Chains A and B, each alone.
Chain A
Amino acid sequence: MRSAWLALRRLPTWSFPLAIGALLLAVPLFEPGYDLTRQIELTLILALVVSGLNISLGYTGQLAIGQAAMYAAGAYTAGLLSASGNTNIALHIVAAGLAALVVGIITGIPGLRLGSWSLAMTSFFLVLLVPDVVDIFEDSTGGHLGLTSMQLPTFFGYVLEPNDLYFAIVWVTIAWFAIFRNVAVSRHGIAFQVLKQSPVLASSLGMSVYRTKLVGYAIGAIPAGFAGALLADLDLFLSPESFGFNLATGALAASVLGGSVSVFGAIFGAGIIQFSNDQATNFAEYALIFFGAFLLIGGVLLRGGVAGFMRTVVARLDRLAGLASASGATTTQAEGQPAAVARIQGGRLVVDNVHKSFGGNHALRGASLVAEPGQVTALIGPNGSGKTTLLNLVCGFYRKDSGSVTLDGVPLLGASDRIARRGVARTFQTPLIPPGVTVRDVVISGRYTVDRVGFLSAILRGPRFRRVRRNDLDRAEQVLRTVGLWHLADTEAVALPLGQRRMLEVARALVREPKVLLLDEAASGLDEAEVRTLAAIVRQVRDAGATIILVEHNFDLVLDVADRIFVLARGSLLAEGTPAEIEANTTVRDEYFGVVGSEARK
Chain B
Amino acid sequence: MTLIYAGLSLGAVYALVAIGYNLIFIASHSFNFAQAQLMMIGAFVTYMAYVKLGLSSALVIMLAMAVVAIAASIEERIAIRPVADHQTQLITTLGFGTALTGVAQLIWGTEPLPVPFAGGDRVLTIFGGRIFPVEVVLIAFAVVLVVAIHFYTRRFMSGLAVVAMSQDDEAATLRGVGVRKLAFAAFAITGALSGLMGVLIGPKTYAVATLGAALALKGFVALAIGGFGSMYGGLIGGLVVGLVEQHVARYLGSHFTNLSVFVVLLLVLMIRPTGLFGRPQERMV
- In the complex formed, the residue of B with least CB distance to A118 is B269
Contact A291 B256 (CB under 8 A): no
Cβ–Cβ contact A288 & B82, under 8 A: no
What is the predominant secondary structure among interface residues of chain B facing chain A? Answer: helix
Query: Per-position contact with B for A383-408: 1 when CB-CB < 8 Å, else 0?
Result: 00000100010000110000000000
Which residues of A in the span 64-99 have a Cβ within 8 Å of any Cβ on B? Answer: 65
- CB of A256 within 8 Å of the partner chain: yes
Residues of A at the B interface (CB closer than 8 Å) are 61, 63, 65, 110-111, 113-114, 116-118, 120-122, 124-126, 128-129, 132-133, 135-136, 200, 245, 249, 252-253, 256, 285-296, 298-300, 358, 388, 392, 397-398, 428
**Residues of B contacting A61 in the complex (Cβ-Cβ under 8 angstroms):** 87
Task: Choose one: A128, A252, A428; the contact of B94 (CB below 8 Å).
Answer: A252
Which residues of the other chain, A, contact B273 by a CB distance below 8 angstroms?
113-114, 118
Residues in B neighbouring A63, C-beta threshold 8 A? 87, 90-91
Interface size on B, residues (CB 8 A): 47
Report how far A290 CA is from B95 CA in the complex, Å: 9
Q: Are B99 and A121 in contact, with the CB atoms below 8 A?
A: no
* Also in contact, A125 and B256, with CB within 8 A (given A114-B273, A117-B31, A252-B94): no
Residues on A with beta carbons closer than 8 Å to the beta carbon of B95: 253, 291-296, 298-299
Report which of B78, B88, B283 forms a contact with A397, defined as CB distance below 8 A.
Answer: B283
- Let me know if A256 and B91 touch, CB within 8 A: yes
B94 to chain A: which residues have CB within 8 Å?
65, 249, 252, 295
CB contacts (< 8 Å) of A253 on chain B: these are: 95
Contact in complex: B83, A300 (CB < 8 Å): yes
> Which DSSP category, helix, strand, loop or mixed, fits chain A's interface?
helix
Q: Which residues does chain B contribute within 8 Å of A289, judged by CB atoms?
A: 98-99, 102-103, 106
State in angstroms the CA–CA spacing of A321 and B255 once bound together: 63
B285 touching A200, Cβ below 8 Å? yes
Taking a contact as CB atoms under 8 Å apart, the answer to whether A128 and B217 are in contact is yes
Contact B214 A128 (CB under 8 A): yes
Within the assembled complex, what's the spacing in Å between the Cα atoms of A61 and B266? 21
Whether A136 and B91, one on each chain, are in contact in the complex, defined by CB atoms closer than 8 angstroms, is no
When distances are taken between beta carbons in the complex, the residues of chain B under 8 Å from A388 are 285
4 nearest A-B residue pairs (beta carbon): A295-B95, A292-B99, A288-B102, A289-B102
Expressed in whole angstroms, the Cα–Cα distance for A240 and B95 within the complex equals 23
- Are A296 and B224 in contact (CB-based, < 8 A)? no
A292 near B282 with CB under 8 A, answer: no
Count how many pairs of residues, one from A and one from B, have CB atoms less than 8 Å apart in the complex.
136
State whether A118 and B285 are in contact (beta carbons under 8 Å apart), knowing that A132-B255, A136-B255, A300-B78 are contacts in the complex.
Answer: no
Please choose the segment from B154-162, B176-184, B257-265 that sits at the chain A interface, where 4 or more of its residues have CB less than 8 A away: B257-265
* Cα A295 to Cα B37 with chains together (Å): 16
Residues of chain B within 8 A of A128, CB atoms compared = 213-214, 217, 258
**A358-B103 contact given A252-B94, A256-B91, CB 8 Å threshold:** no
CB A384 to nearest CB in B, in angstroms, measures 15
Q: Is B47 interfacial (CB 8 A cutoff)?
A: no
Decide yes or no: A285 and B105 within 8 Å by CB, A135-B255, A292-B97 being known contacts.
Answer: yes
| B96 within 8 A of partner (CB) | yes
Shortest B223–chain A CB gap in Å is 9
Mask: chain B, 59-74; 1 = CB below 8 Å from A; 0 = not: 0000000000000000
Given known contacts A114-B273, A128-B217, A136-B259, what 13 new A-B pairs fall within 8 Å (CB)? Answer: A118-B224, A120-B90, A124-B217, A125-B217, A125-B258, A200-B283, A245-B210, A252-B94, A289-B98, A291-B98, A291-B99, A296-B92, A300-B78
Q: Which residue of B lies closest to A109 (CB)?
A: B270
B96 with A121: CB separation less than 8 A = no
How far, in angstroms, from A171 to B198 measured CA to CA in the complex? 50
* Neighbouring B residues of A398 by C-beta, 8 Å: 282-283
Distance in Å from the Cβ of B106 to the closest Cβ of chain A? 6
> Is A299 a contact of B88 with CB atoms below 8 Å?
yes
B250 within 8 A of A: no
CB distance A122 to B106 under 8 Å?
no
From A133, A249, A299, give the contact of B92 (CB < 8 A). Answer: A299
* Residues in B whose Cβ lies below 8 Å from that of A116: 31, 86-87, 90
Nearest CB in chain A to that of B91: its residue: A299
What A residues does B265 contact at CB under 8 A?
A: 110, 121-122, 125
For the complex, is B28 an interface residue (Cβ under 8 Å from A)?
no
Whether, in the assembled complex, B220 has its beta carbon less than 8 Å from a beta carbon of chain A, the answer is yes
Task: Output the nearest chain A residue to B228 by Cβ-Cβ distance.
Answer: A117
Please tell me if the beta carbons of B258 and A293 are within 8 angstroms of each other in the complex. Answer: no
The one of B78, B101, B105 that contacts A296, using a Cβ cutoff of 8 Å: B78
| A432 (CB) vs chain B CBs: closest residue | B285
- Chain B contacts for A132, CB-based, 8 A: 255-259
Whose C-beta in chain A lies nearest to the C-beta of B109? Answer: A285
Q: Cβ of B282: which chain A residues have Cβ within 8 Å of it?
A: 358, 398
What are 21 sample pairs from A and B whose C-beta atoms fall under 8 A apart? Answer: A61-B87, A110-B266, A110-B270, A116-B31, A116-B90, A128-B213, A128-B217, A132-B255, A200-B283, A285-B105, A286-B102, A288-B99, A289-B99, A291-B95, A292-B100, A293-B95, A294-B95, A295-B91, A295-B96, A299-B92, A358-B282
- The winner among A122, A299, A300, A428 for most chain B CB atoms within 10 A is A299
Interface centre among A110, A116, A292 (most CB of B within 10 A): A292
Task: Say which residue of A117, A136, A299 sits within 8 Å of B220 (CB atoms).
Answer: A117
* Residues B82 and A300 in contact, CB atoms below 8 Å apart: yes
Give the distance in Å from the alpha carbon of A128 to the alpha carbon of B260 in the complex: 12
Question: How far is the CB of A310 from the nearest CB of chain B, in Å?
Answer: 20
Write out the residue numbers on chain B whose beta carbons fall within 8 Å of the beta carbon of A135: 255
Residues of chain B within 8 A (CB-CB) of A120 are 33, 90
B79 at the binding interface (Cβ < 8 Å) = yes
Q: Let me know if B217 and A111 touch, CB within 8 A.
A: no
Task: Specify the chain B residue showing the minimal Cβ separation from A136.
Answer: B255
What chain A residues lie within 8 Å of B89 (beta carbons)?
299
Closest to A199 in B: B283
On chain A, the residues within 8 Å of B100 by CB distance are 292
> Considering the complex, which residues of chain B in the window 183-218 have a beta carbon less than 8 Å from any beta carbon of chain A?
210, 213-214, 216-217
- Among B91, B210, B214, B270, max chain A CB count under 10 A is at B91
Contact B269 A110 (CB under 8 A): yes
* Inter-chain contact B269/A122, CB cutoff 8 Å: yes
Nearest CB in chain A: distance from B18 CB, A: 12
Contact A288 B31 (CB under 8 A): no
Chain A residues lying within 8 Å of B258, measured Cβ to Cβ, are 125, 128-129, 132
Complexed CA–CA distance, A295 and B93 (Å): 9
The CA of A438 and the CA of B92, in the complex, are separated in Å by 29
Q: Which residue of B lies closest to A429 (CB)?
A: B285
Chain B neighbourhood of A126, CB < 8 A: 262
Asked if B269 and A114 sit within 8 Å, CB to CB, the answer is: yes
CB distance from B133 to the nearest CB of A (A): 30
* B94 nearest in chain A by CB position: A295
- Chain B min CB distance to A128 (Å): 6
Cα-based distance from A296 to B269 in the complex (angstroms): 29
User: Given contacts A125-B265, A285-B106, are A300 and B79 in contact (CB under 8 A)?
Assistant: yes
Q: Contact mask B92-124 → A, CB, 8 Å, 1/0?
A: 101111111111011000000000000000000
**Given the complex of chains A and B, what is the CA–CA distance between A197 and B217 in angstroms?**
27
> B270 — nearest CB in chain A belongs to which residue?
A110
Q: How far is the CA of A296 from the CA of B90 in the complex (A)?
A: 10
A200 to chain B, nearest CB (A): 6
Q: Distance (Å) between the CB of A116 and the closest chain B CB? A: 6
Q: Are B105 and A288 within 8 A (Cβ)? A: yes
- C-alpha gap A129/B269 in the complex (Å): 18
Docked complex Cα distance between A484 and B71 (Å): 55
CB contacts (< 8 Å) of A256 on chain B: these are 91
Alpha-carbon distance A194/B105, docked complex (angstroms): 41
Given contacts A117-B90, A289-B102, A296-B99, contact A245 B285 (CB under 8 A): no
- Residues of A near B283 (CB, < 8 A) are 200, 397-398
Which residue, of B259, B270, B285, has the highest number of chain A Cβ atoms within 10 A? B285
User: What are the residues of chain A within 8 A of B101 when measuring CB–CB?
Assistant: 288, 292
CA distance A20 to B65 in the complex (A): 52
Inter-chain CA distance A31–B106, complex, in Å, is: 37
Q: Do B269 and A292 have beta carbons less than 8 Å apart?
A: no
Q: Across the interface, do A122 and B266 meet the contact criterion of CB distance under 8 Å?
A: yes
